[in-house]
Amino acid sequence: MRKTVSNNSSIKCYSVPLPSVWQVLRWIHFDLSESDFAALLADIKPRLAANPELMPLEIVDGGARIAAAYFLRLCGNVATLGGLRARREYEPQAGLVMQEFQHRLNNAGIAQIQALIDLNNLSSRLVMLNSSFRQATTVRHLWFNLLDINYIAETSIAGYTCQPASRFARREIDSLVEATFVGTLDCPDLDGLRSPSDVVSGFLESKAWDASLPWWVLCAEDKPIGCALVNSHPQAIFELAYVGLDPAWRGRGLGRALVNFATHSCRRLGGSCLTTAVDTKNWPACMIYDSLGFSEIRELAVWLPKVTKSHQIVAA
């Protein structure tokens, strides 16, 4: 077991053994109901067991827990903060747990390490300010009530075709997504951390590459120039995971047309709600979503390790 010790020798960072994970997770998620916590534990515990580098860490001072956190591994070689809590006035010392996690995850070869923190959570913000992470940007989480669409509008885009992504080879989709990342305003600090294949795997979320996948490719004649990648979730909820255009085709209203196409397509597929997330600095995308009637749920701060891209581990 590796320890990180602060200037106060009584404060240590410990890896939590699997049998005690539920106790630490309950302490982190103290505000969840019993039923919600049971569902969360059933989902998280096997994932942690399969990825020991993500096991929760806790900071102990004189035998008392003062902070704890855990990460979750996502598809596409990503690790994201699952939960974080620190006792009041111990936030500076609690930064040690994030420092230790960064060390672990780097050693495990994770290409993208991130923490999304609610802007209203001042305690977690203080922890992050005293950690080895920096705030890169903020993202708006948005939703659209698909039931407000009382008709199924024409979902084609005049002069262009939208084809199911499954009609294309996976390598073609990888190349298309990579091309749409050029000059992106959507979390540009993340661009280049992962291979194109890893990026697409992250959007895919382990779903099957077949005709049931609600991903669409925008084509000018036969040339792919953009995409709208959607994932379906329980309770008829759809998530617009990514919208991108080749730089040569931007500024023509095609981004708005793609979002509108995805919205009506999800309604046609029986969706009740469409969610998405967008970088607050990506003003063209924010204007599109606002003009189409998307509503903001919350804003989250995106924290990344304090290293330049050239020092990040890049997937081969």
Q: What is the pLDDT of residue 308?
A: 46
- Indicate where the chain has its CATH 3.40.630.30 domain(s): 11-131, 142-299
SS3 262: helix
SS3 45: helix
Nearest to 281 by CA among 192, 219, 212, 188: 188
Tell the CATH topology of 11-131: Aminopeptidase (3.40.630)
User: Where do the DSSP E strands lie in 169-294?
Assistant: 215-220, 223-233, 237-245, 273-279
Residue by residue, pLDDT tens for the chain (316 residues) are: 344 434 455 678 899 988 899 999 999 999 999 999 999 999 998 888 888 888 999 999 888 899 999 999 999 999 999 999 999 999 999 999 999 999 999 999 999 999 999 999 999 999 999 999 999 999 999 999 999 876 655 566 888 999 999 999 999 999 999 999 999 888 888 888 899 999 999 999 989 898 899 999 999 998 999 999 999 999 999 999 999 999 999 999 999 999 999 999 999 999 999 999 999 999 999 999 999 999 999 999 999 999 744 334 332 2
The DSSP bridge pattern shows strands 215-220 and 223-233 to be antiparallel
Query: Tell me, what DSSP letter sits at residue 20?
Result: G
- In angstroms, the CA 64 to CA 105 distance is 26
- In angstroms, the CA 173 to CA 123 distance is 41
Q: What is the pLDDT of residue 9?
A: 53
Tell the CATH topology of 142-299: Aminopeptidase (3.40.630)
